[in-house]
Structure 1
Amino acid sequence: MSPRAGNAGPRTLAFVESPVQLLNVLEWAHTRAPGAELTLVVLSPVDPMTRGQLRRMSELARKEGHEVRWEEARGGATAPFRTVGGLTGALRHADRIVMGDPFSRYVQLLLTITRARDLVVVDDGTATMEFVTQLAHGERLVRWHRKGSRSGPRDLLFGPVSASARRRLTPARGRRVEVFSAMPIEDTPDGVAVTANDFAWTRARFGPPRITKGADMVGTSLVETGVVDGDRYLDAVRGLARTHGAARYFAHRRESTEKLHRLAVETGLEIVRPDLPLELIARRGPIGRTVLSFPSTVVHTLPLALAGTEVRVAVCDIDPAWLTQHASPRARGFLSGVTDSARGAHRLSAVASPG
C-alpha cells in the first residue's frame, strides 16, 4: 500500500516483522496514542506461516483505521536496497518511530536514518527482557539464544550498525525512549519509560471465549532455534499431554512440518496451526480450561489476554538435560528467569518436567 499522496510523512511510523509485533503495535496505539496518525510498515519475512498471520493482522490494523504498507523486504538480493531507499523519506519526516524488534538488523539500520525524537519499543516476546538488560548494561544488542554473530553478503548494507542503534535507543536530551511491554521489566535503563501492556485492545475486541474441558498445549520453537533437543522435547510433550489430558497442540509459527508430524503421530495430539497470534486465538475461543506451555512469551501474555476468565495457564520448566550443546551459555538462566518471573507475576502453576 502506498503512502498517502501529498503527505509530508506520517507522524508515527511503526516497523514490524512478526504477527506478535503487529499485535503489540495495535495494543500500544489503543493504550498510548488513540487517534494518532499511524503508518504500519510490514517488513515481510519469507516464511509462509508468518506471512499468512501478518496478512490477517494487517487487515485488523486497517479496520482500526491505520495505514499498512507491505514491504517485500527480503524478496531477493536487491530487496533491502529498494526497501531502505523507499522508506528514507518517511523515516526523515516521522516524529515517532515504533519498533517491534530492536535486535533486527533491518530496524537497526533504519534507526540510523530517522530523525525522530520519540522512539518506542513494543514487545517481541521474551526478547524484550533481554533487550532492556543489554541496553542498561551498555552491551551489544544480540538475541539471547545466539552464540555469536553471523556474517554474509547483506553485511555490505547492514554493516556494524548495532552500536549506533544502541546509542539511538539510549535516552538523551531531546530524545525520548519508551518500552511498551507485558514482560516483567527489571534493571530499567536510566531515562527509559516503561509502560505496561495489559492487552486492553485484545480484550475489548474479542471474547470472552468459550472454555472447554481438559487442556491445550502451546508449542515452542526452542528445537528449531537449536536450544532444546528434539527427542527430549517430544518426550516432554508426550508426558505433559498424558498427565494433563491435553487434546490440542497450538503450533508456533516457526515449528517445522516434520517435527509437528512426528508430534501428531507419537502423541495423538491434534496439531493446530493458528492463523493469528495465540493471544487472539485464545481470547476468541474455544480454549481449554488449562493451557500448558514451556517458558515463552505466552506465560506472560495469555494471563493478561484471558483476564476475567477461568482459564489457568501452567508453565513447565526446561530441564537442563534437554538443552543441546549448541545452546548459548545464557540459555539456561534466561529460560528459568522467564518461568520464575511469570510465576511470580501471574501466580502460574508449576508443572513438573516429565522424567
Structure 2
Amino acid sequence: MSPAARRVGWVESPLQLINAVEAATHLDEPSLLLLRSGVAQLADTARWLEPHLPAGVELAEAASATDPRFRGAARRLVGDAFSGQFRAVVAATGVRDLVVVDDGSAALHLAAVLAGTEQFSRMGQREPLAQRTLGRVTGSRLRAASAAGRVTLFTAYASHRAMPVVPGASIVPNRYGWLRALDGGSPVALRPVVVLGSALAVDGYIATEDYEAWAAAHGPATYLPHRREDRASLERLRAAGLDVVEPGLPAEIVLGSARGLEEVRSLPSSTGATLARVLPVGAVLDVTAVPDAWWTDRADETFRATLTYLASADDASTEED
C-alpha cells in the first residue's frame, strides 16, 4: 500500500500508543503513528514497543497535529478527540475517515457526545471561551461524520453498560490481543500486591490527603505512579511504606508481563476495561469507588457519574476473543 493510503495517527500518551497499535493490528491497516514529542513516558514506551510492532505499523515523532502527514491524511486515527490540537485540525480540514482509540475513560464521554447527549468538551473541566468555541465546531463535525458512517470507535468499553448507541458509528471492541500475545519480559520487579497510581488527586478532582491515605493503607505493596504525579507526593508515599517503582512504561505493559502478581488495587479509571484484559492469569483487579467526601468542586456531576460507572471492573466488557 502506498504511503498516501496509510492511516495516519496522532498519539499524545503511552496508553493512546498501545491502543493505536492494537487498532492497526485488529483492523489490519498499514499505519503511521505520529507521537507528540516531549511527552513523559511516550518516547520510552515507543522504544520498548518498537521491536514488537506488527508489520505495516511505523512510529515517528511530530511536534504537533498540524504536521502535514496528519493534517493531509485522508484516513486518520486519534487518541484524544478533545485535544486542542486535534480540534484545530478538524476545524480547518473536517473529519474525513476517522478511527478514535481509547484515551482512558474519556471514550464513554466521547460516545455520549457523538450520540448527542453531551456537549463537546473535556470531561470534568470548565473550558475557556476559545476552547468552547472550537469545541462546538469540532463536536458538530464529528457528529455529522459519525452519522455518515465515517467514524470508528475502537474501544475496550464497547460492551460497557454506559456505552450509548452512537448513530452511524462503528464500535469495535479492543480486546488487547496484540499486547497479550507479546513476550517482552517483565521490565521491573513487583510485589504481589500493586497499588496503581491515579491522576485524580494531582488533577484536583479528589483531596490529596484522602488519596494518599488510601494508597498508604495497602502497604507493604508496590506503588506504580501515574506519570503526572509530583515528586513530593511520591516521597510521602515512600515514607508511608510503599515501594514506589517508576518504570517509565504504561501499567498495561508492566502489569501484563509481571510474574507472581496477585492483586492490583486502583481507583476508578480506564483500568477497569484495560487491565482486566491484560493481567496475568490469577491476578485480581480491585477497584475502589471514590467516597463522596473525597471529591472537590472541580469534579462536576458528569465526571463523577462516569467514574462511578467505572468503580466496578465487572461493568467493563470481559469478552474473550
Q: Normalised by the size of structure 1, how large is the TM-score?
A: 0.79
139 and 99 in structure 1: CA distance in 2 versus 1, 3 angstrom threshold: same
Q: Any gaps of 5 or more consecutive residues in structure 1?
A: 1-6, 74-82, 348-355
Contact 1:22 1:57 (C-alpha < 8 Å) held by counterparts: no
Instruction: Percent identity, please.
Output: 27
The residue that corresponds to 2:104 in the other structure is 125
Q: How does 1:51-70 map to 2 (within 5 A)?
A: 51-56=42-47, 59-60=50-51, 64-70=55-61
Contact 2:124 2:298 (C-alpha < 8 Å) held by counterparts: no
Q: Report the AA paired with residue 124 of structure 1.
A: D
Deviation at 1:207, TM superposition (A): 6.8
Contact 1:9 1:90 (C-alpha < 8 Å) held by counterparts: no
Matched, 1:11 2:6: yes
Contact 1:145 1:225 (C-alpha < 8 Å) held by counterparts: no
Deviation at 1:37, TM superposition (A): 2.5
Runs of 4+ in 1 over 4 A off after TM superposition: 60-65, 113-116, 172-175, 207-213
Contact 2:9 2:70 (C-alpha < 8 Å) held by counterparts: no
Q: Report the AA paired with residue 206 of structure 1.
A: D
255 and 173 in structure 1: CA distance in 2 versus 1, 3 angstrom threshold: closer
297 and 345 in structure 1: CA distance in 2 versus 1, 3 angstrom threshold: closer
302 and 119 in structure 1: CA distance in 2 versus 1, 3 angstrom threshold: same
Contact 1:97 1:119 (C-alpha < 8 Å) held by counterparts: yes
Q: Report the AA paired with residue 34 of structure 2.
A: V
DSSP-derived class of the 1:217 partner: strand
Matched, 1:335 2:307: yes
65 and 100 in structure 1: CA distance in 2 versus 1, 3 angstrom threshold: same
Q: How does 1:181-220 map to 2 (within 5 A)?
A: 181-183=155-157, 184=160, 186-206=163-183, 214-220=192-198
The residue that corresponds to 2:255 in the other structure is 282
The residue that corresponds to 2:82 in the other structure is 103
Matched, 1:38 2:31: yes
| Alignment root-mean-square deviation, CA | 2.9
Paired residues, number: 313
Q: How does 1:1-355 map to 2 (within 5 A)?
A: 9-33=4-28, 36-44=29-37, 46-47=38-39, 49-56=40-47, 59-60=50-51, 64-73=55-64, 84=66, 86-87=67-68, 91-92=71-72, 94-114=73-93, 117-137=96-116, 139-146=118-125, 148-150=126-128, 160-170=133-143, 171=145, 175-183=149-157, 184=160, 186-206=163-183, 214-239=192-217, 241-242=218-219, 246-266=220-240, 268-286=241-259, 288-306=261-279, 309-340=281-312, 342-345=313-316
**Comparing 20-29 with 135-144, which one deviates more in the overlay?**
135-144
Distance (Å, rounded) in 2 between the aligned partners of 1:124 and 1:40: 15
Q: Normalised by the size of structure 2, how large is the TM-score?
A: 0.86
Deviation at 1:252, TM superposition (A): 0.7
Deviation at 1:112, TM superposition (A): 3.4
